[in-house]
Structure formats: C-alpha cells, structure tokens
Amino acid sequence: MRVRSVSLGALLAIAVISGAWAGQHGQRPVVVELFTSQGCSDCPAADRLVSELAKRKDVIALSLPITYWDMLGWKDTYATDANTQRQKSYAREMNRSGIYTPQMIIDGRRDVIGNQRDRVLAAIAPRGDEGPGVPIFIGTASGRIEIAIPAVKSKSKTLATIWVMRTLAQGSVNVEQGENRNHLLTYTNVVRDLKRAGEWNGEAMKIDLPLNLAKTRHDGVVVILQARDYGPVLGAAVLQFPAADRVAAPR
C-alpha cells in the first residue's frame, strides 16, 4: 500500500484522465451494514432487505456475516473474524451490552434490528444535520486500486479512519444444517475482506492498493471514511470491478 498527499488540482486531473473513477457528489449515500449469519433463523428477512436497499442510489448496503453462531450446527461459509470484530467494536462505541443478529448499523450512528423493515427505513431517512459528506473517488489503473480524498476545510482538525472492504455483489448458499437447514440463502454485497487502509486528517490524499490483494472471491470494493474508527460515517463510495479484474478464488 502507498499513501501520499496530493494537491486538489492533481486529484481532479487524475479523476478526469482515468475515466474509471466512481465517487458520490452532493448528498453522500447512507451506509447500511447488516451483521448476519447463515445459522440465524431471524436473518433471511434482513438479508432480503439488504438486497432491496442495495438497489437504491442513495444507499450503500452491505452484508457482514459473523462467526459466533457457527456453534448452532452450521459454519457460515462467508463469515470472517474481521466482520465479527467490527460488530464488537460498534457495540463498545455505542455502549451496547452485547451483540446479536440480525443487527443493522446505519451510518455508524445508530443501530436497529435488521429484520424490522419499517424501523430500518425510518433509521435511514433522517439526513438533515449530516451535510453533504466528504467525496471519495475510487478507480483502477495498472493493476491497482486508487483511492483519492480531497481536502476539506474545517475549523477543527479532522481525523478519520479509511476502511477498505472487498465485496461480492451476489452469493447463494444451500444451508444443510442448523436453524436454516434446507434453505437456499441469497446475499448481496457480502464483505469478504476488511482492512484499515490509513487515516485522513482533512488534507488531500491518495492511496494505492493491489487490485487482487484478498484471497477470497470478490468483484468490488467499498471505501468508508469513518470518524473515531467506528463513529459516524463521513463519506463512502463503491466500485464494481470489470469482469477481467474480478477475483475468482474459492469461497
């Protein structure tokens, strides 16, 4: 990984020349993170809701399968320790007494039971006090992912974590044991790899990452800029890879 500061002019020039950059302008998208498990009978309804939300242009909806329900008789084939640790970190940040599935975290600001559709939609709706957010540009060049964040003027020094998630747009699993035995479960925007890529202090910067760093199957990348590691989301963007760049490693 390479991190370097760039001028705003250079950043915009790169974005124009590349032609492959994807970023959100104006009102930023709402980030919805569902912590789910193939071993949880209450989760399929929440999984379907993520698939519904993912069709909206104003939402980045993600599925983060966790590991702690593997003891129920079925080991989740998408679950990762990184997803589980992220949920535990949210619980500490929000002063929650425990973790559960299906749980949705909305913009790093609030949580809601993920299969309660009306409450989820209500949690997504309020945006009045959050502003347009920080724009993020993502592109691919010469076998690498390039992430650019412009400078933002602020009276106080801004310090935020840059999270990079490798995602799988669609996945299906035949569950053979446990609470969802004999069910075919379908997932949208599954987080297959999750890493902290650096910190942003309000100045223009650019990060280069290997395109196919993760060993798990994935076909896209999501970048989230988040205050205090697991605090409010300040900006987010998503990029789907061209077919030639998709990683087809075993699940």
Q: Residue 223: what pLDDT?
A: 97
pLDDT for the residue 28: 85
Q: What is the pLDDT of residue 242?
A: 74
Collect all residues with Cβ–Cβ distance below 8 Å to 107 and sequence separation of at least 6.
30, 31, 32, 130, 232, 233
pLDDT at 78: 97
Cβ–Cβ under 8 Å, residues 70 and 178: no
120-149 tens-digit pLDDT: 999 998 765 566 789 999 998 888 899 999
Burial status of residue 98 (CB atoms within 10 A of its CB: 0-12, 13-18, 19 or more): exposed
Low-confidence ranges of the chain (pLDDT < 50): 6-25, 250-251
C-alpha 62/C-alpha 184 separation (Å) is 19
Give the model's pLDDT for residue 244. 54
Q: Structure pTM?
A: 0.88
